Amino acid sequence: MPVRTTMADLIARITDLTGDLGFSEQQIQDALDRRRTDVRLLPLTPAESIQAGGLVAFLDYYAADGDWEAGATLQTLNFVPLTETTDYTADYLVGHWTLTASLFPPCYLTGRTYDVYGTAADLLERSARLQVNAYDFSTDGQSFHRSQLSTNRLALARQYRRQARPQVIQMGRSDVQ
């Protein structure tokens, strides 16, 4: 599957978090897709604005999490889709939608959100595994320590794991009916 144009900001964000590890955009997108959450009709949190004359307007809506794939659909109370750039502008990395006209809540979002810190940790660990055979050497009075690459990448991966979204699993007990 080719790299989706809607993933450009997320791929750039992963590259900012990890540096250039040598992974292609396709490999980064695949890693992101493994940590994707598909969301349907998520109620957004409105933020009221006080306009001139004391009029209350609802122009800003927020999702609890950021890191959305571009192109998520914003919908009104009766589930009519709004049109991006005409009806609103979006900051997908933050999870903030700004409407051009006031819209009384609720407002819903359907799209895909990603765990960028979990993905960055996965890629850093993968890169560290590729560096496991790196070696240190000295020549002409200089020392080269390539083994630090693996150690440093694993340390950064541990830091990102602490920032990753929690995961939920189902467990069952065979001894209880």
pLDDT tens for the chain, 177 residues: list them: 799 999 999 999 999 999 999 999 999 999 999 999 999 999 999 999 998 888 899 999 999 999 999 999 999 877 788 888 789 999 999 999 999 999 889 999 999 999 999 999 999 999 998 876 666 677 888 877 667 788 889 999 999 999 999 988 888 888 887
Which pTM value belongs to this model? Answer: 0.84
Same-domain status, 82 and 127:
no
Residues 109 and 122 in one domain: no
Identify whether residues 136 and 69 lie together within a single domain.
no
Domain extent at residue 134: 1-35+115-165
Sequence letter at residue 50: I
Q: Is residue 175 in some structural domain?
A: no
Task: Single out the residue of 166, 153, 44 nearest to residue 115, CA to CA.
Answer: 166
HSE, CB side, 13 Å, CA atoms: give it for residue 7. 19
* Last residue of one domain, picked from the residues 93, 114, 135: 114
58: in domain: yes
Residues 54 and 95 in one domain: yes
Q: Determine the distance from the C-alpha atom of residue 170 to the mean position of all C-alpha atoms in its chain, rounded to a whole number.
A: 24
The three-state secondary structure class of 19 is coil
- Same domain for 70 and 14: no
Interhelix angle 116-130/8-18, rounded to 10 degrees, is 50
